[in-house]
Amino acid sequence: MRRYLLAATAVLLASSVAMARAETTLTVGMAAADVGQLDPDRATTTQDLPVVSWIFNGLVRFRPGSASLEALEPDLAQSWEKSADGLTWTFHLRHGVKFHGTWGEMTSEDVVYSLQRAADPARSAFAGDYAAVAAFEAVDPYTVRIVLKQPVAALLGLVANYHGGNIVSKKAVEAEGADFRVKPVGTGPFAFSEYRSNESVTLVANTAYFRGAPKIDKVIYRFIPADAARDLAFASGELDIVYGRQDERWVERFSKQADAVVDIVRPAELSLLHINEAQKPLDDIRVRQAIAYAVNRPQMIAFKGARTSVPAVSVVPAGYVGTDEQATLYPHDVAKAKALLAEAGYPNGVTIKVIQTSLPAMLSTVQILQSQLKEAGITLDLNVVDHQSFHAEIRKDLSGLVYYSAARFPVADIYLQQFFNSRATVGTPTAITNFSHCAVADKEINAAAIEPDEAKQKALWKTAQQKIITDVCAVPLYEQLQVWAHNKRVDYGYKFEGALQLGPLLTEATTRK
């Protein structure tokens, strides 16, 4: 009887512990009206990326809290090797990794299916990233081979836990069809549970997670588009984690809150002023140089806030593999700007037509630029339109200057290819975001993309950046950091310094007191 009572007591205690853990819920507030996609091959927006990162894994992963390619570590693959020519990569998968629910074990068939899907323009928003891949092959159930047509800069980044590198269940995708966008199945620490349109996404702990069962049992990801409502919910303790504002006053206010920690992290969005060399008078390098000299970066940083903004170092963001951190930028010199305009035949100044979004944060920045350039005799004639129209019109080559902020995968190749390779020039069949018609560094950009020697590759990227800066295809302004905040009762389990997924990575080690 005594043994029975002891056993019964143990069961009751275990049950009590389980019940207590079942009540461990983490609530996150996002600045959005709804989710866009939970399908990792189509999730591109700020509100989509964080929650996708809690559901899925890649073959490799960015170390939690880091956005650096140099901090990649094993994830679903436990090891890998590449051939001497850099064209064949072989990945050895972990054994026994389970997909969420009843979708079974992850094998090389799922990995090959996932990567082929990521490379398919009909099924993925990231297909262009895989253009250099010749084949994805399942060698055996736990071995995957990737064969390239040419070496790829930072190939491991394409199979990391980001964008097309996330691994899906082949069976689940085929069974769910179109519903997979809101019924995702991965291998990550948290599994999809419920989606409420315009309200929330709920995840539950994946107790079979290969790194161990999460210490958080449930995550509620709430959509709160109104800044004031979201701030109030966080201040009152209704939210444990909140998407912040890239605003110095917001950071200052919540930094003073006793139970809050403000996280200012990378990747930063680099703000560039692209100059359309195909339009007069901007086809004259002296006019472009005058614009570069007229820009006052320290004044812009003072306006944006020194805690949320840092000076630009080049035409590629700081911290990317291949960024020239010591690039020579044009200094602020109004007298020099005026002299160059006079030399170019514009002693009375010039007027440049600019299409600009009505989004307050972006419009206010351009109005600062407008004031700075005016001092040098450069007048910006602003045509302010809604944000959707802004994106449409700048891609039609209608603006003399384009103020554009962006973060990309952290390797110089991506930024240079998309913004400064002539193939990416807006208005052409292969257009991406080359608003300046820049073509001065094509040779170096293209050579670096296939250069297997890392030192030579970085040297080519450095030369490309200096050519672009010297030719004034674009003027680097500043980098705007990402802002989040969390209640002190939350411990991420790592130091949160960055995340390509634009939000904190919730892992099996994350806790809430």
Q: What number of other Cβ atoms are within 10 A of residue 261's Cβ?
A: 16
Measured distance between the N- and C-terminal CA atoms of the chain, rounded to whole angstroms: 38
Report the distance separating Cα 169 and Cα 266, nearest Å.
Answer: 30
Backbone angles phi, psi at 238, to 5 degrees: -70, -30
Amino acid identity of residue 351, one-letter, is: T
Strands 350-357, 309-311: pairing kind: unpaired
Residue corresponding to tokens 């994946």: 206
Judge whether 24-240+489-512 and 269-481 match in fold.
Answer: no
Asked whether 450 and 414 are in contact (CB, 8 A), the reply is no
Strands 241-243, 260-275: pairing kind: unpaired
Task: Please tell me the predicted confidence (pLDDT) of residue 25.
Answer: 96
Asked whether 162 and 57 are in contact (CB, 8 A), the reply is no
Asked whether 349 and 287 are in contact (CB, 8 A), the reply is no
Task: Give tens-digit pLDDT for 107-129.
Answer: 999 999 999 999 998 898 888 78
Q: Is the pLDDT of residue 21 over 70?
A: no
- The Cα diameter of the chain in Å comes to 104
Q: Is the pLDDT of residue 1 over 60?
A: no
Report the distance separating Cα 403 and Cα 279, nearest Å.
Answer: 16
Q: What angle do CA 146, 149, 150 make, to 5 degrees?
A: 105
Report the distance separating Cα 298 and Cα 289, nearest Å.
Answer: 18
Report the distance separating Cα 141 and Cα 145, nearest Å.
Answer: 12
Q: Is the pLDDT of residue 9 over 60?
A: no
Q: Which residues contact 428 (CB under 8 A, 6 or more apart)?
A: none
Asked whether 132 and 105 are in contact (CB, 8 A), the reply is no
Report the distance separating Cα 502 and Cα 50, nearest Å.
Answer: 6
Task: Please tell me the predicted confidence (pLDDT) of residue 8.
Answer: 39
Give me 309's structure tokens: 């903004």
pLDDT (mean) for 17-27: 67
Report the distance separating Cα 46 and Cα 223, nearest Å.
Answer: 12
Q: Which CATH class is domain 24-240+489-512?
A: alpha beta
CA atoms within 13 A on the CB side of 252: 6
pLDDT band at 501 (very low <50, low <70, confident <90, very high): confident
Q: What number of other Cβ atoms are within 10 A of residue 104's Cβ?
A: 13
pLDDT (mean) for 216-241: 95
Average pLDDT over the chain, rounded to an integer: 91
pLDDT band at 470 (very low <50, low <70, confident <90, very high): very high
Q: Which residues contact 495 (CB under 8 A, 6 or more apart)?
A: 65
Report the distance separating Cα 61 and Cα 57, nearest Å.
Answer: 7
Taking Cα atoms as reference points, which of 78, 426, 407, 374 lies closest to residue 271? 407
Give me 413's structure tokens: 């190749």
Q: Is the pLDDT of residue 10 over 70?
A: no
Task: Please tell me the predicted confidence (pLDDT) of residue 45.
Answer: 79
Give me 366's structure tokens: 């351009």
Q: Is the pLDDT of residue 50 over 90?
A: yes
Omega prior to 298 cis, within 30 of 0:
no
Task: Please tell me the predicted confidence (pLDDT) of residue 89.
Answer: 97
Report the distance separating Cα 357 and Cα 369, nearest Å.
Answer: 14
Give me 278's structure tokens: 């195909």
Task: Please tell me the predicted confidence (pLDDT) of residue 6.
Answer: 39
- Please name every residue paired with 482 in a beta bridge, in sequence order, or none if there are none: 265
Taking Cα atoms as reference points, which of 204, 236, 198, 231 lies closest to residue 220? 204
Q: What is the CATH code of the structural domain delimited by 269-481?
A: 3.10.105.10
Report the distance separating Cα 354 and Cα 376, nearest Å.
Answer: 17
Q: Which residues contact 226 (CB under 8 A, 6 or more apart)?
A: none
Report the distance separating Cα 421 and Cα 444, nearest Å.
Answer: 10
Task: Please tell me the predicted confidence (pLDDT) of residue 443.
Answer: 98
Report the distance separating Cα 195 and Cα 191, nearest Å.
Answer: 12
Q: Is the pLDDT of residue 316 over 60?
A: yes
Task: Please tell me the predicted confidence (pLDDT) of residue 4.
Answer: 36
Q: Where does residue 177 rank: exposed (0-12), middle (13-18), buried (19+ CB within 10 A)?
A: exposed
Q: Is the pLDDT of residue 200 over 70?
A: yes
Buried b (16+ CB within 10 A) or exposed e, 216-248: bbbbbbbbbeeeeebbebbbeeebbbbbbbbbb
Task: Please tell me the predicted confidence (pLDDT) of residue 20.
Answer: 46
Asked whether 315 and 475 are in contact (CB, 8 A), the reply is no
DSSP state of 79: E
Amino acid identity of residue 65, one-letter, is: G
- Report domain extents, the chain: 24-240+489-512, 269-481
Asked whether 279 and 484 are in contact (CB, 8 A), the reply is no
Asked whether 134 and 148 are in contact (CB, 8 A), the reply is yes
Task: Give tens-digit pLDDT for 344-370.
Answer: 999 999 999 999 998 888 899 999 999
Backbone angles phi, psi at 494, to 5 degrees: -165, 170
Asked whether 33 and 141 are in contact (CB, 8 A), the reply is no
